[in-house]
Amino acid sequence: MSVNEVNNSSVSDVVENVEEASAKLKEPSRYQVVLLNDDYTPMDFVVAVLQLFFRMDEQEATEVMLNIHTKGKGVCGVFVFEIAETKVAQVTDYAKEYEHPLLCKLEKIEQ
């Protein structure tokens, strides 16, 4: 067997293994971070949370806040589990720090 045959064989084996691995990989589950409405947390605080933790501009944050206010809950963003879990913890800690009862949770998105 020549060097070219060995190299070609090795390359095709690698390509085949990569293709098999890619076929076995699946998209990670996605989770939406949701804020729930309450009668005590000020609207501007909710807007500030959306800007601070979800990088929304003022207009988008206001729209989401109004959704939360009128529909009882609003989606802040969609993330893989670890990031969603971190966002929920950050928002919860921040709300507690400022003594607001703002509730934040994550919901798995069914695929």
Per-residue pLDDT in tens (0 to 9) along the chain, 111 residues: 554 454 555 767 766 776 676 667 888 999 999 999 999 999 999 999 999 999 999 999 999 999 999 999 999 999 999 999 999 999 999 999 999 999 999 999 997
CA angle, corner 29, sides to 17 and 66, nearest 5?
A: 150
pLDDT of residue 7: 52
Q: What domains appear along the chain, each with residue ranges and CATH number?
A: 30-109 (3.30.1390.10)
State residue 50's pLDDT score.
99
The terminus-to-terminus CA distance of the chain in angstroms comes to 49
Helices (H) and strands (E) in the chain, counts: 4, 3
